[in-house]
Each structure stands twice: as structure tokens, then as C-alpha cells.
A = this chain, B = another copy of it.
Amino acid sequence: MLTASVCTIGDEILIGQIVDTNSFHIAQELNLLGIKVQYMLSVGDDHGEIIDGLRNCLAKTDIVITTGGLGPTKDDITKDALRQLSFSDGYRNSEEQFSVDRHILSQRGIPLSENNRAQAMVPDNAEVIVNKIGTAPIMAFPFDKVKLQKLGINSNITKMLYSMPGVPFETISALPDVCNHIKAHFDLDEVEHRTVETFGIAESTLSDMIAPWENALPKDLHLAYLPNPTLGVRLRLSYYGMHDPDAKKRIDAEFDKLYGQLGEIIYGEGNDDLQTVIGRMLREKGCTMSVAESCTGGHISGLITSVAGCSDYYKGSVTSYANQVKTNVLEVDPQTIERFGAVSSQCVEQMATGVLKVLDSDYSVATSGIAGPGGGSTEKPVGLCWIGVAHRERKSGAVTVKSKSVRFSSTRAVNIERFSSYALDYLRSMIIHS
């Protein structure tokens, strides 16, 4: 199995100014190619540290991907370290990148500066992969046996070092091109993956449930559990190996069995999230939805509208933080709040039917709970949330409404995230069964 390392460059990471998300995205993509990421490091904008760090990476792994240090103000340090490390004599202008840079700058109405010219210069032995959305080029440096030996590294293969820009959306945008370059350069195993997303079942329980299936899997198919505390557990089945024309079919056949067993516990595939899946179901049905939030404070609406094109099915939401908004706008009966409290089955059901009516939608979801850290009582502790879902049938106008409660014991922010995921999943179930 090929190995890789990721080296992020930049003082902003080391002083705790930004979270390094580039390593995460790169690791994910390499993993999908069947490449084992063995090592990640971050070094500052310092010539010696960069050379030392990258040399270590080359010693440890076959592929090295580095990001950052190429901004118009810092490029000298990183680029010069790359030039020295790769035994390059000097720089050349990358015509291809420069023409993209001119185009980008003119679109933004920014005059071309000396710094921009410098950004398109690359060590003369670097192969350029054009950065289509930014001004810093992606550079590929082959390190053959001879070069590696000069660095004190013994290797039977030519290793590759890729230098990528550090701006996260440029890194993400350029990753497919770098992966294609890797595929062309290395003799990778054939890889087939398929991932399903499950919700609402803990990893250990899920593992018990599917143990017979898992134990009966063909030896060359590998199952990975990828749990996320908010989004559920993803199950990925992978084939790595020699060319097998049936690999995909064999994975599909196993997943057919899994679907048979797990049913609607599986909510999606690939990179699906609950809001995308809900949107797809609503669009297929030609139905609309709305949201009434209390403790989740707008988070559910934010998730729904994170999906581009959601205006096809999303009417909107009411965040009724004050009880007065619950009664005046969502038409919750004030006596309900008086008798049962705002955090109650009765209240969320009225919120759900209220928003359904006021915003004129086919489906709705409502939340009311105690996100913490303060508030709560013995009976209604911090971390408790009631969720209501409602559906109005078009023909008869009949409204169905249901509610349930969930409870978590995390921070305010995480409680809100989990309440929101459980609310979306409850809505998903309502849509499936109506």
C-alpha cells in the first residue's frame, strides 16, 4: 500500500489562529484512493523547519503533500525551500498559471502587481498543475532514487512531492487534479468504495446488529465504521486490490443485504446529509416544509438552507424564543404552555401544526428544549429536547402530528447540533411514512 504524508506550512497554524482543515480534506481524498496517510505535520514559515519537515516526510512516505506558505507575502520562504530541497538551479515563469492569474485579477478588477508575477514563478524542475481559482500554482516535484539518495533517503521508487496553496477552498478545488496526477504517476491498486449513512443507532449497537453480515463478508471487502457524534455512523465497504471487473457488483450485492436488514436506519449514501436527503424526498413528492424552533434557535433552518436550491421546497421558519412568539405567531394555546410548559410534547405539537398553517407547508418540524448550560429542572433537565413533526394531507387537509423527546449531556453548541440532527431525522421518518 502506498503511503503519504501531509505537511501544512504557516505560522498561523502554530500560533493557534486557524484550525488546519486542509490536512483533513487531503487525508480523506488519499484514503479514498487507497493510499495510507501515515504522518501529518505543521511547521512555521521558516526555511530550515520547512526543509527539515519535508525531508522527514520524504523519508517516511512515498507521497508528500504540502499546503500553504505560497501567499504573495510569504512565497519566498516556502518556494525557496522547495527549490533547494529539489536541487533546482533557479526559477522559471509558469506561462499557464500566469495567464490564469491575469484572468482572475482582471475579473476581480485588481491590477497585476509584482507579487502576482512572483507567484507564477516556480522552481525550474517543478511540474505545474494549474490552480484554476487562485493565483498560486500547484507544483509537483518528482524525487527519483538519485535525488533521494542525495537527501540521505534510500528508495526503490520515485517519490512525489506536491505543493498546494493553503487557502482551504483552493486546496479543496485543486485536490482532484492532484489525485489524478498521483494516479498517473503511481501504480495504484484498483479501488472501489461505497458508503451508506445511518442515523440514530450507536456504533456498538450497530456493530452487534450487523455482526452476522459483517462476518460473512468476502475476505477482500473491507468494512469501515466512520462514526460522527452528530451525523450518525457511516459504513464504508471498500475493495482494494488487483483489477476485478466484478468488484463494484460484489459490493452492491453486499449492500443490498445490508439495506434489507437496516431499512430506513440508512438515510443516504456518499456525502449525503439529512437536509439533502429531506430536500430530495420533498422535491420528488412536490411537497414543501417549514420549521418552528425554540432551543435550536435557527440552527435547523440554517441546515435546511445550506442546501442550494432549497427554495423549491422550503417555505421558511419561525424561531419562537419568547413564549409570546409561540402564542402570537405560531398560535400555541397559552394554556398549554401554562399547564405543560414550553418544553413539552403538547407545546412542540402545537408549534409544528402552527407553523404548518402559518407558513402554509405540507410538512413541518418543531423543537423546544433546554440547551444549557443554565436552566432546567429535575423533571426537565438541561439537555432535554422535545421534537414535533406534522404533515397535512393535500386532499383531505387532515393533519397528522407526532412528538418525541431526546436527551444529551454535552455543551450548549453540541446539544443544539444533536437536537437539530434528531429533529431532521424525525422529519425524514414522517416524510417516508406519509
Residues of A bordering B, CB below 8 Å? 13-21, 23-31, 36-44, 49, 53, 56, 108, 169, 224, 226, 291, 293, 296-306, 308-311, 314-322, 324-325, 328-329, 358-360, 371-374, 409-414, 416
What separation, in Å, do the CA atoms of A316 and B224 have in the docked complex?
42
Q: Of B13, B29, B316, which contacts A322 at CB under 8 A?
A: B316
Known interface pairs A16-B29, A306-B413; 8 further A-B residue pairs with C-beta atoms within 8 A, sorted by A's residue number: A13-B24, A14-B39, A16-B27, A19-B19, A40-B42, A302-B302, A305-B319, A316-B318
Q: How far is the CA of A38 from the CA of B9 in the complex (A)?
A: 11
Consensus secondary structure, chain A interface: mixed
Closest residue of B by beta carbon distance from A7: B41
A363 to chain B, nearest CB (A): 14
Q: Are A310 and B321 in contact (CB under 8 A)?
A: yes
Closest to A22 in B: B19
| Known contacts A40-B42, A291-B319, A31 near B19 by CB under 8 Å | no
Report whether A317 and B315 are in contact in the complex, using a CB–CB cutoff of 8 Å: no
Chain B residues near A301 (CB, 8 Å)?
A: 293, 297-298, 301-302, 319
Given contacts A27-B13, A298-B298, A413-B306, contact A318 B318 (CB under 8 A): yes
Q: In the complex, what residue of chain B is closest to A411 when comparing beta carbons?
A: B169
B298 with A302: CB separation less than 8 A? yes
Contacts of A30 in B (CB 8 A): 16
B306 touches A297 (CB 8 A): yes
Q: Are B311 and A304 in contact (CB under 8 A)?
A: no
Which of chain B's residues have a CB closer than 8 A to the CB of A317? 298, 317-319, 321
Are A316 and B311 closer than 8 Å at their CB atoms? no
Contact B321 A319 (CB under 8 A): no
Q: How far is the CA of A38 from the CA of B308 in the complex (A)?
A: 41
Contacting residues, chain B, for A314 (C-beta < 8 A): 321-322
